Structure 1
Amino acid sequence: MVARLTPDQKAPKNSKASASISNKVAETEIPKKSNRGRHKKPQEGPKEPEYFPEKRNLEDLWQAAFPVGTEWDNMDKLREINWDFSNLEKVFEEGGELYGKTVYMFGCTEPQLLEVNGEQKVTLIPIIVAVVSPIPPSDKIGVKSIQRETEDIIPMKAMKMAWIPYIPLENRQSRVDRLKTQIYTLGCSQRRSALKHLKIERVKQYDYCLPYLQPLKADEDEDDTVVNIMYPLEPPIVCDFDWELDDLEEFADELVQEETLSEDQKDAFKEYVKEQVRERKRAQRQAKEARRKAIEDMDPATKAAFENMQFYKFYPVQTPDTPDISKVKVPYINRYYGKAHVLM
């Protein structure tokens, strides 16, 4: 009787060969990787949450005011010290002296010899001047040329400067056009990266900028009769000449006797002094005329605003991280603004 296979069964072609191959495969089975020498990475516990100090609402207010007249190379030095202007912030908070008032602010710097980390060094102190006024104090800037002693009064926009609304931190997510701010800071849109493309004379103009204010009264030196002389010799002759008190001939003779000026340079020196005196008198006349015309052109509201302007001058608050500036605080702002009404 012959056994028959079902369709799903297959007879092995060579049972001995199949067994031999199976044995070899079993013998050459790929070994499993050993865990010897391996270290399990320890499981990290839950991370401690990081806490960052909450930013104050007006924390960057002092930095928003462009430090007018500061050399571009010195801008970064202002951040080397952790200056604290919390006194400026407090006057704008509810209950503060300037809360709810319209204020225009600009920055400047004052170089002083201070002790920093146990070492005496010339340090730039940042200063903030706040002008309390319903109108901008000026749309002009004073620029002192490199060669001349007097300033040229030019529009702010010529130096890429303008009054910019300041937005407190808590309101910066809101639409600016819907906000009603009462704080304006003097900003400058000149990019530092573009300075290398400007002429040296243009870059230097920024070093000689002064916030301008058209005074209603004559400043202290408008009728001054003294001119500063710097006669171009090697070394230069540096002195002061008073055209009312000094006789030019005697003045030049004294310099010759002191061997500061040679006899053959005497006449040229006298002409130079005369030109300096003429230039100074011309500048004084122009200043008086500009003030007279400005007053005449003012409407009563503008004139009242200028007469009632209040100037606040802010120095940084003393902290353990900042040098002692208590002995160098002065109310003087600049030749246009004169002295501050309030020194903080």
Structure 2
Amino acid sequence: MKTLHNLLIVTFSILIFNSCEKVIEFNGEETKPMIVVNSFVTPDSLIYAQISKSKFFLSNKTGFDYINNADVSLYINNIFKEKLTFKSDGLYLSNLKPNTGDTIRFYITADGLDDVESISVIPDQPVILSADTTFKISFTDFQLEGEDTIGYYQAGELGFRIKFKDESNRPDYYRLTLKKHAVIDAGGGVTYEDQFYMPFTLEGFENTNTGGGLFDIFGGIIVDSKNQQLITDDLFNGKEFVLKFTALSSKRVIKPGYEDRFFYSSDNVVSEEYIVNLQGISKDMYLYLKSKEMADGIMDGFFTEPVQIYNNISNGIGILGSYTSIRTSFKTR
């Protein structure tokens, strides 16, 4: 019976993979290249645009085909301000930083390609009213030398509560990220910094990573834990709201003088903090990131249809998005 059970599983798996295979003939002509624009504008930084040329999807060329001779006109609130300066590898830079509420418009031309344009309005900065964190210990391991405790390792869950105010009665869009920053003693008077974005789970929101993975198909459990969360204000338009989210965390505390007993220099943490970044993002930026998230998610699953990445470049391809940020940090060591 066990052999028959295994045979049925293998047969079912083969049927799944075969059912996903489909041969599609392409009888069309190669499409004309278009201007590709990528730009995310924020009051914290100079306005920029990365400009390249699209490629035919059957092309075997790798890398980006940058456009280094484009003419990039910048308008703010319908007033022409300047032409962006070419730097390198398709990067064009302005001398200006935008303000909250500004309407940013690009009009871009390049030889042999259709002119393109795009518009984005800088959203309001989120208002954080309060922020706190807790650490729930799930495991502790004491390191002993003889009868002396020379250190311990703890693992658990960091819980965050961010209360903020959604200022307007219009639809608003947000992006939430969590970054860990640590200063580590490498020994010999040398320290170095280590920082990275952390996956986290946001309470009370649906799993936005669509595309059903293998475990989902067979009835398993998938936890929605990732490095960003995209949020609409459908639940709290014009109101105060508390974002609750958790992240796995661990630490090792070493008794002074016993550092050489431990193999990893990363155990010798001098300081550690977690940085929460709540961004107000434009609708176009939200739709772009959402579609990209969905497209990335289908790589993990079966029975899924391709997802088209959102585009707001008229006559071209790409994204002009805008955002504002507010950060709050929690020092844990």
Q: Classify the TM-score, shorter chain.
A: under 0.3
Taking structure 2 as the reference length, what is the TM-score of the superposition?
0.19
**Greater helix percent: which structure?**
1
Which structure has more strand as a fraction of its residues?
Answer: 2
